[in-house]
Amino acid sequence: MSGEDAPAQQQNAEEQKQQQQQQQETKTPAESPKTESKPDPPPTSASTEAATATATPAPAAEKVPEEDTFTYRALVLTGYGGYDKVKLQVKKGKPALKSGEVMVRVKMCGLNFADLMARQGLYDRLPSPPVTPGMDCSGIIEAVGEDVKDRKVGDNVLVLNRSGLWQEVVVVAATHTFLMPEGMSFEEAAALPVNYITAYMMLFDFGHLRPNQSVLIHMAAGGVGIAATQLCKTVNDVTVFGTASASKHEVISQGGVTHPIDYRTRDYVEEVRKISPKGLDIVLDPLGGSDTHKGYNLLKPMGKLISYGAANMLAGQKKNLFAVAKTWYQQFSVHTLSLIQGNRSVCGFHLGYLDSETELISQAMTVILDLYRQGKIKPRIDSTYHLEQVGDAMRRMQERNNIGKILLSTEPMKEEEKKEEAKKDDKKKDDKKKEDKKEDKKKDEAKKDEKKEEKKEETKKEDKKVDEKKEEAKKEEN
Amino acid sequence: MSGEDAPAQQQNAEEQKQQQQQQQETKTPAESPKTESKPDPPPTSASTEAATATATPAPAAEKVPEEDTFTYRALVLTGYGGYDKVKLQVKKGKPALKSGEVMVRVKMCGLNFADLMARQGLYDRLPSPPVTPGMDCSGIIEAVGEDVKDRKVGDNVLVLNRSGLWQEVVVVAATHTFLMPEGMSFEEAAALPVNYITAYMMLFDFGHLRPNQSVLIHMAAGGVGIAATQLCKTVNDVTVFGTASASKHEVISQGGVTHPIDYRTRDYVEEVRKISPKGLDIVLDPLGGSDTHKGYNLLKPMGKLISYGAANMLAGQKKNLFAVAKTWYQQFSVHTLSLIQGNRSVCGFHLGYLDSETELISQAMTVILDLYRQGKIKPRIDSTYHLEQVGDAMRRMQERNNIGKILLSTEPMKEEEKKEEAKKDDKKKDDKKKEDKKEDKKKDEAKKDEKKEEKKEETKKEDKKVDEKKEEAKKEEN
């Protein structure tokens, strides 16, 4: 198993480093295409192309050119599947900077739900593997391209991009970076872009949230959930219903959720109706499937349902065709005449499909950063992992154990941590076996369910046949 | 033909008056139930129940009680169908006032597109015939019920109601009346409620219209179209695309439409794309059917399509099943995943389904009346008809000849006007015959179209059979 192919979380970082050095010393660029792989097509994504000194002036000729000695670690999705499909690799060669672009030395990266979907091949905005995922990060500007006037080397920035940010060095359009306000940590900066812009545009552009209104926030302890709750609180007397498991209720209540609902033990529709019989003004729906129908039926006149994901499609770490098909099949479809009679609105939002709308995004970001400066919003960090631990980080999100944002730090792991990690790895292998078994069991159950359904259908058909025969018999009698 | 059954526009008003007097003199209330017919069930609609002195204190006993001598003219939809289904009748007996209600002496009534739909039986918010239509009017308060604190006798008001306003006297909830601002005419007041609240809630609640955005307004010379255009102009640098026939372009341009488009000779989708290749922020769609699809496809990211009618269902003065079926069949239906990928919103609006939302409506009305006071909006009156001419008024709207609001005045017709009207009536009878012929021709054409389609299908099927046979022949050869 080479260093490049080993899953990040199962790889001893020290060994890896050695292997990387060997690679750099022995392989020519042509022999190690992966280390120079270009995750996304320019210009909308982080370009990691090795500089070939065409557009940029050639450096002084005496010493070895920096383009050759420049290396950086990057997470790469090598194919669709489980957590082990995201691997830590070393990329070689200094990325070239085009006009309008900046190079950022990354400190912290953000994890988003779309990254989980992408790993299973369920998110079409991530280019095909091998590719570096990652839609938000924070860091320091290390170089600026031509025609970049409002960014300079040394600026602390938060970055929003379609993909490609889970690595130590990224090259992005300067318009995709935003200056960090005074006092903001790199953790907060990496936690902010995707979650707060998503929540902001949904609540204020599509939702047109106003005082005295009511909002339902699913996954209220998740990154978008916490951002949405905080943004609701910037408007007077907004009632927030938030679903989360009971253990998270105290935290989300402190964060601003008026009525936390444990969706695992309660029917949230009933709980909402008890408190707000007329229904809700806004429903934010990241779940899809049958939950979209429920949300729609909870709307008041002039109410808005905003669908922004299909988290119900995720069941287990690998693509579960049964869950995908079920969510797809139950996915909500609405007729304008129904909307007219209910005076309702149904909206769809996903920041990933909005990446060319720089003006819209920068307007939203300006407001969000102002709210941060005023102390009205503050990203909540759930946990920070090393790049090597990306599998653990994704698992934590997928199993909905987080309260707030999960981050990946580009800081290399310390020796003692690595040893700890090695021990955990053994346990993980066992866990993996268990999980595989579990998934197999799930699949078996799904198959059984299908068979049951088939049997039911057959029984129905047989009943029908019997009825038909009876009918015929009657007719003959007459 | 009795005075009650004759169509309003074909009835000589002088004769009618005489007949009415006779009715009042000779018939007992039990014999003329229609004159006391109660158009709508309380409490959401204008109650015209005769006072039976139960809730209100009995007047002085000497003279004939006012309840018996009180009469007023009312338009009544007697059944679904053509223009002649709306008849002018005389109602007898003073309506009783419940707590919270006011009685208004009506000056002007507004015509709305929904009234045309209702006459054909295509609008489920109008109670079954016999019933008095009419959703907006203006007038003077003549009596106030108990617990009405903010209205007094003599107040000039504009009225918004689910139905029942096309008559000389209406009883409505005080919350459905709004004080007319200084300097507003009764014409303007009757032209305002439905059109401006509809346009306002669509543009600012669902649409969240902001500076520099672009809006497509269909039927830009209609009541809602003109209101929407004026409201767009209250926001900086909004680009308005407006469809209307060429003869109306000068007027709508002066009114604020940036790009008038003649939908009869041009493909409006192409015209919009030429000027705004990225598409539009808001599309207001009163048409339904295939136009909703076109509107949806014209949306920018974060764009909103607001559907508020199915005017395409109206073809001819009587219900045209072919047009209804076609519009219904082509009616737009959207999947949330499509909305997510496009970052789009689809909304449905109809004021008729919002009648219990008094707070929302009164908030909107407050802003609208403020804009009127500031001179930023001004209802445009297309024409004013007498109640007797309601058929002509409806025809003008249906044939899209109006620019602005069409009104019905409760002012009785003058003698010379009546004579003119009688002459016109003869012509109208001829026109009606012609129109009936036209409609028959249309139906024939529709049938022919269907047959053509069937023939095509058959030809296709036959072609398919031939192909299948060829396939079989090949297989046999192999």
- pLDDT band at A7; cut points 50, 70, 90: very low
Task: Please give the pLDDT value at position B89.
Answer: 96
From the CA of B354, how many Å to the nearest CA of chain A?
7
Does B343 contact A348 at a Cβ distance shorter than 8 Å? Answer: yes
Task: Please give the pLDDT value at position A45.
Answer: 39
Interval A291-307 mean pLDDT: 96
Q: Does the CB of B358 have a partner CB in chain A at under 8 Å?
A: no
Task: Please give the pLDDT value at position B316.
Answer: 72
From the CA of B461, how many Å to the nearest CA of chain A?
31
Task: Please give the pLDDT value at position B267.
Answer: 96
**Each residue of A151-207: pLDDT tens digit?**
999 999 999 999 999 999 999 999 999 999 999 999 999 999 999 999 999 999 999
**Each residue of A97-121: pLDDT tens digit?**
999 999 999 999 999 988 998 898 8
The H or E element containing residue A33 is none
Q: Identify the residue among A202, A285, A299, A336 best suited for mutation to test binding to B, counting B beta carbons within 10 A and taking the highest.
A: A336
Decide: B176 and B161 in contact? Cβ < 8 Å. yes
- Which range has the worst mean pLDDT, A4-8, A278-282, A428-432? A4-8
Q: Does the CB of B357 have a partner CB in chain A at under 8 Å?
A: yes
Closest residue in chain A to residue B204, using alpha carbons only: A208
* B219 Ramachandran zone, left/alpha/beta (phi>0; psi -120 to 50): left
Q: Is the pLDDT of residue A423 over 70?
A: yes
Distance from C-alpha of B378 to C-alpha of B230, rounded to nearest angstrom: 8
Chain A residues within an 8 Å CB radius of B224: none
Does A334 contact B333 at a Cβ distance shorter than 8 Å? Answer: yes
Task: Please give the pLDDT value at position A452.
Answer: 53
Q: Identify the residue among B162, B340, B361 best suited for mutation to test binding to A, counting A beta carbons within 10 A and taking the highest.
A: B340
Task: Please give the pLDDT value at position A98.
Answer: 96
Chain A residues within an 8 Å CB radius of B340: 307-309, 348-350, 353
Q: Is the pLDDT of residue A456 over 70?
A: no
Decide: B196 and B371 in contact? Cβ < 8 Å. no
Q: Does the CB of B301 have a partner CB in chain A at under 8 Å?
A: yes
Interval A5-18 mean pLDDT: 40
Task: Please give the pLDDT value at position B435.
Answer: 60
Instruction: Give the dihedral sign, CA A42/A314/A309/A122.
Output: positive
Compare CB distances from B302 to A307, A332, A360 and report the shortest one's residue. Answer: A360
Decide: B358 and B175 in contact? Cβ < 8 Å. yes
∠B196-B198-B202 over CA atoms, to 5°? 115
Q: Identify the residue among B202, B205, B339 best suited for mutation to test binding to A, counting A beta carbons within 10 A and taking the highest.
A: B339
Q: What is the pTM of this model?
A: 0.77
From the CA of A352, how many Å to the nearest CA of chain B?
9
Q: Does the CB of B205 have a partner CB in chain A at under 8 Å?
A: yes
Task: Please give the pLDDT value at position B334.
Answer: 83
From the CA of A182, how many Å to the nearest CA of chain B?
30
Does B334 contact A346 at a Cβ distance shorter than 8 Å? Answer: yes
- pLDDT band at A425; cut points 50, 70, 90: low
Task: Please give the pLDDT value at position B34.
Answer: 35
From the CA of A358, how many Å to the nearest CA of chain B?
12
Q: Does the CB of A346 have a partner CB in chain B at under 8 Å?
A: yes
Does B336 contact A341 at a Cβ distance shorter than 8 Å? Answer: no
Chain A residues within an 8 Å CB radius of B205: 208, 302
Task: Please give the pLDDT value at position B44.
Answer: 36
* % of residues, chain A, pLDDT over 90: 61
Task: Please give the pLDDT value at position A47.
Answer: 41
Q: Mean pLDDT in runs of 10 for chain B (478 residues)? A: 38 40 37 36 39 39 67 96 95 95 98 91 88 97 96 98 97 97 97 98 97 97 97 98 97 97 96 97 94 95 94 73 71 85 95 90 97 97 97 94 96 82 67 60 55 52 52 48
Compare CB distances from B340 to A338, A349, A357 and report the shortest one's residue. Answer: A349
Task: Please give the pLDDT value at position B436.
Answer: 58
Compare CB distances from A346 to B204, B292, B336 and report the shortest one's residue. Answer: B336
Helix-, strand-, coil-residue percentages of chain B, each rounded to 5: 45, 20, 35
For A210, B228, B306, B376, the CA distances from B204, given in Å and listed in that order, are 12, 10, 11, 16
Chain B residues within an 8 Å CB radius of A343: 348-350, 353-354
Sequence-ordered list of residues with C-beta below 8 angstroms from that of B333, at least 6 positions apart, any chain: A333, A334, A335, A336
Does B206 contact A333 at a Cβ distance shorter than 8 Å? Answer: no
Compare CB distances from A337 to B331, B343, B345 and report the shortest one's residue. Answer: B331
Does A307 contact B336 at a Cβ distance shorter than 8 Å? Answer: yes
Task: Please give the pLDDT value at position B311.
Answer: 76
* B184 Ramachandran zone, left/alpha/beta (phi>0; psi -120 to 50): beta
The helix-helix angle for A290-297 and A268-275 (nearest 10°) equals 10
**Each residue of A78-95: pLDDT tens digit?**
999 999 999 999 999 999
Q: Does the CB of A331 have a partner CB in chain B at under 8 Å?
A: yes
Does B331 contact A333 at a Cβ distance shorter than 8 Å? Answer: no
AA letter at B419: K
From the CA of A303, how many Å to the nearest CA of chain B?
9
Q: Does the CB of A350 have a partner CB in chain B at under 8 Å?
A: yes
Q: Identify the residue among B122, B214, B347 best suited for mutation to test binding to A, counting A beta carbons within 10 A and taking the highest.
A: B347
Does B336 contact A339 at a Cβ distance shorter than 8 Å? Answer: no
A112, exposed or middle or buried, with CB in 10 Å at 0-12, 13-18, 19+?
buried
* % of residues, chain A, pLDDT over 70: 73
Interval A125-150 mean pLDDT: 95
Interval A14-43 mean pLDDT: 38
Task: Please give the pLDDT value at position A11.
Answer: 40
Q: Does the CB of B208 have a partner CB in chain A at under 8 Å?
A: yes
Task: Please give the pLDDT value at position A179.
Answer: 98
Chain A residues within an 8 Å CB radius of B354: 301-302, 343
For B11, B34, B386, B422, B441, the CA distances from B418, given in Å and listed in that order, are 9, 25, 10, 6, 34
Distance from C-alpha of B282 to C-alpha of A466, rounded to nearest angstrom: 57
Compare CB distances from A347 to B292, B345, B348 and report the shortest one's residue. Answer: B345
Chain B residues within an 8 Å CB radius of A353: 301, 340-343
Does B335 contact A331 at a Cβ distance shorter than 8 Å? Answer: yes
B245, exposed or middle or buried, with CB in 10 Å at 0-12, 13-18, 19+?
middle
Does B340 contact A308 at a Cβ distance shorter than 8 Å? Answer: yes
The closest alpha carbon to B257, from B289, B288, B228, belongs to B228
Does A292 contact B340 at a Cβ distance shorter than 8 Å? Answer: no
Q: Is the pLDDT of residue A143 over 70?
A: yes
Chain A residues within an 8 Å CB radius of B349: 340, 343
From the CA of B65, how many Å to the nearest CA of chain A?
44
Q: Is the pLDDT of residue A19 over 50?
A: no
Chain B residues within an 8 Å CB radius of A288: 336-337
State how beta strands B239-243 and B214-217 pair.
parallel
Chain B residues within an 8 Å CB radius of A345: 206, 304, 345-348
Closest residue in chain B to residue A355, using alpha carbons only: B301
Closest residue in chain A to residue B351, using alpha carbons only: A343
Does A337 contact B344 at a Cβ distance shorter than 8 Å? Answer: no
Q: Is the pLDDT of residue A465 over 90?
A: no
Chain B residues within an 8 Å CB radius of A289: none
Chain B residues within an 8 Å CB radius of A122: none
Predicted ipTM beyond 0.90 = no
Task: Please give the pLDDT value at position A289.
Answer: 87
Rg of chain B over Cα atoms, rounded to whole angstroms, equals 25
Phi, psi of A146 (to 5 degrees): -60, 155
Does B345 contact A345 at a Cβ distance shorter than 8 Å? Answer: yes
SS3 B393: helix
Interval A250-259 mean pLDDT: 97
Interval A379-391 mean pLDDT: 97
Chain A residues within an 8 Å CB radius of B350: 340-341, 343
